Amino acid sequence: MIVYNQAFDLYHTIFRLLHFLNKFENQTILEIERVRIWDFYLLFPSKIHDIRLKQDESDIRKIRKEFIKDSNNPYERITENRKIFEKIKPYQQAALNCIASYGIIDKSLLNQQRISIINKDILIEFVKNFEELSPKERNVIALMTSHFNQVSLFGTDGLKNRTNLIESKYDA
Residue 172 has pLDDT above 60, yes or no: no
Residue 65 has pLDDT above 80, yes or no: no
Q: What's at 152, amino acid-wise?
A: S
Residues in the chain: 172
pTM exceeds cut of 0.85: yes
142-169 pLDDT, tens digit each: 989 988 898 888 888 888 888 989 876 6
Cβ-Cβ contacts under 8 Å for 7 (sequence gap 6 or more):
13, 43, 84, 87, 88, 91
Q: How far apart are alpha carbons 140 and 91 in whole angstroms?
A: 20
3-class DSSP state of 135: helix
Which one, of 136, 129, 166, 160, lies nearest residue 14 by Cα? 129
Angle between helices 32-43 and 135-150 (to 10 degrees): 150
3-class DSSP state of 150: helix
Q: How far apart are alpha carbons 11 and 58 in whole angstroms?
A: 36
The rounded mean pLDDT for the chain is 88
Residue 68 has pLDDT above 80, yes or no: no
pLDDT of residue 8: 92
